[in-house]
Amino acid sequence: MVADDKPASTFKYSEKPLYTTSNGCPVENPEAFQRVGSNGPLLLQDFHLIDLLAHFDRERIPERVVHAKGAGAYGEFEVTHDITDISSVDMLSKVGKKTPCVARFSTVGGEKGSPDTARDPRGFSIKFYTDEGNWDWVYNNTPVFFLRDPTKFPLFIHTQKRNPQTNLKDATMFWDYLSTHHEAVHQVMHLFSDRGTPYSYRHMNGYSGHTHKFTKPDGTFNYIQIHLKTDQGSKTFTNDEAGKMASENPDWNTQDLFDSIQKGDYPSWSVYVQVLSPEQAEKFRWNIFDLTKVWPQKEVPLRPFGKFTLNKNVENYFAEIEQVAFSPSHLVPGVEPSADPVLQSRLFSYPDTHRHRLGVNYQQIPVNAPLRAFNPYQRDGLMAVNGNYGANPNYPSSYRNMTYKPVKPTNEHEKWAGAAVSFLSDVTDEDYVQANGLWKVLGRQPGQQDNFVGNVSGHLCAAKEDTRKRTYEMFSKVDADLGRRIAEATERLAPAPTSQAAGSAQSRL
Ligand code: NDP
Ligand code: HEM
């Protein structure tokens, strides 16, 4: 607070606040510093200069280990259709009910300064400030992912980042991993279709990918997957357009989102749910905990239930978007994670990285703070800035009355039993079926199969020869013609066999 009792950050441009040091001492000239005479050394007593430098030295916090480059805004979710027959989530309890939210979109592999139009999946995260706590949807713009065994996540991500020796993106690392882990091929088909280079964040869909559970107080539940379909229409760049934009305006998607909202052209998404009862899930062809598979829409139709709109830009990017902390474990009564092992691992990983990136009290940062929370048993720690629950007891005291809301259903949902095992999934013929389905979907859209072949070959040609060959074999298992076309197109672009550079060459994307 400053002298006139206003929090310092609330001054408007039209006002003329008194400039002070960080401890509130008025300063005559922010550019002046203290020294001996007009040519001598500086003085340790110059708190203004030393504090300014010391604070500047600490301006950077760790960037997100993945999804470092992103943009976001505020908005709202509105229930458009009644789904109370399957959901007891308070936010979804009534048609017309609105819930405020903040969203962040991102690329995955690049650093904070990397181009927005890189070929990559896009993150699609929303934090809903519901009356019963924050509910985070930490989704992607693809309905599947590269893996179903969580241990592979750090290993896979390393191959999409920089070579430890050259510090370059490395096409051999990239395809070496993918061509030896064929469960990834369905996601690779999405990534190298033109949807791997969306025109903007406003023109892409979002998918939960994982199966979750909608639970009811009577103990019954359904398995669900959520889809957000862009109301702006799906629109993509070609590979060449994306590359051109990367050099002309590397922040294109960030700018597009900000400018649209600023001029009142609010992007929105229609929100749907796919529902399977436990009995249906039991008989389903696909393992519903396998993140590399979709639930075919003809068999499990999309049921509409909401509209999500972004309508307000942030005031301060760092405070509100860099510091926003999403986690699949930020859930509310009525929704639970499924047994999907990748989702289960994510429940741990996100709060863990938030503690590292933002500190143990990350939930106190205004953009992360729930509408109301009362948790006085979590005390102290770095940056406890919310009053630290004052004189409230820090244990369940018999002298302090509290209300406890029974949120757990009374019946058991799922019963698991089995020996503790070391598990790793196998790749089977089933792993190529949905990838083949997508190849056929691309075939229904003029030019999309050609673009796919061009997108893969333009990247794969920089990999070593044996890696390239293994990759042709992988695509041949999806479709023989696809494998042949990729082999032909790639070999036309690949360097001569004698070139020592092949393999360590920087990927072209
Ligand atoms: P359908 O044959 O019933 O419909 C195809 C779906 O594919 C569309 O609904 C659309 O989903 C999506 N799609 C259309 N064009 C593209 C594209 N260029 N790149 C990526 N996706 C596209 O779908 P099925 O459910 O039987 O699945 C067939 C294939 O479609 C799957 O192998 C899967 O890869 C892909 N797909 C399936 C989704 C699902 O949840 N079932 C979701 C997205 C893709 P949308 O309207 O969401 O864009
Ligand atoms: C970001 C881990 C799989 C979507 C992150 C971050 C980590 C992480 C550590 C950085 C978070 C931060 O610093 O705030 C993992 C692990 C995974 C996994 C360990 C698998 C075991 C997935 C999947 C999806 C996904 C399958 C989508 C379905 C996202 C998104 C972000 C993100 C959207 C960006 C969040 C934001 O905007 O702040 N992930 N991830 N991740 N992840 Fe994952």
Bridge partners for 276 per DSSP? 223
Q: Using one digit for the tens of pLDDT, what is the confidence trace for 296-346?
A: 999 999 999 999 999 999 999 999 999 999 999 999 999 999 999 999 999
Ligand 1 centroid to residue 237 C-alpha, Å: 18
67 labelled catalytic:
yes
Model confidence band, residue 378 (pLDDT cutoffs 50, 70, 90): very high
Q: Is the pLDDT of residue 279 over 50?
A: yes
The C-alpha angle 365, 367, 368, rounded to 5 degrees, equals: 65
Tokens of 334: 């009525």
Known binding residue 377? Answer is: no
* pLDDT of the residue at 2: 38
Ligand 1 centroid to residue 438 C-alpha, Å: 7
Alpha helices (runs of H) in 75-219, residue ranges in sequence order = 152-160, 171-179, 185-191
The amino acid at residue 297 is: Q
Quick count: other Cβ atoms within 10 Å of Cβ 385? 10
| Rounded CA separation 500/335 (Å) | 54
Mean pLDDT of 347-373: 98
Model confidence band, residue 503 (pLDDT cutoffs 50, 70, 90): very low
Q: Is the pLDDT of residue 407 over 80?
A: no
Model confidence band, residue 504 (pLDDT cutoffs 50, 70, 90): very low
Atom of ligand 2 nearest to the CA of 138: 33
Q: Using one digit for the tens of pLDDT, what is the confidence trace for 79-108?
A: 999 999 999 999 999 999 999 999 999 999
* pLDDT of the residue at 7: 58
- For residue 327, give the nearest of 355, 305, 350, 311 by alpha carbon: 350
140 labelled catalytic:
yes
- Of 140, 253, 361, 451, the catalytic one is 140
Are 70 and 105 in contact, with CB atoms under 8 Å apart?
A: yes
What's the half-sphere exposure (Cβ side, CA atoms, 13 Å) at 351? Answer: 12
Mean pLDDT of 34-49: 98
What percent of the chain shows pLDDT beyond 70? 95
What percent of the chain shows pLDDT beyond 90? 91
Q: Is the pLDDT of residue 405 over 90?
A: no
Pocket around ligand 2 at a 6 A CB cut-off: 64-67, 70, 104, 106, 123-125, 138-140, 145, 150, 153, 209, 291, 325-326, 342, 345-346, 349-350, 353-354, 357
Q: Is 193 in the pocket of ligand 1 (CB under 6 A)?
A: yes
Biggest alpha carbon distance in the chain?
85
| Rounded CA separation 395/377 (Å) | 6
Determine the residue of 61, 64, 228, 324 to mutate for testing ligand 2's pocket, defined as the one with the most ligand atoms within 8 A of the Cβ atom. Answer: 64
Q: Is the pLDDT of residue 3 over 50?
A: no
The amino acid at residue 494 is: A
- Of 67, 182, 190, 459, the catalytic one is 67
Q: Using one digit for the tens of pLDDT, what is the confidence trace for 473-487?
A: 999 999 999 999 999
Q: Is the pLDDT of residue 6 over 60?
A: no
Q: Using one digit for the tens of pLDDT, what is the confidence trace for 104-116?
A: 999 999 999 999 9
Model confidence band, residue 265 (pLDDT cutoffs 50, 70, 90): very high
| Rounded CA separation 145/121 (Å) | 9
Q: Is the pLDDT of residue 142 over 80?
A: yes
* pLDDT of the residue at 403: 93
Residue 228 belongs to what H/E stretch?
strand 221-230
Q: Is the pLDDT of residue 9 over 70?
A: no
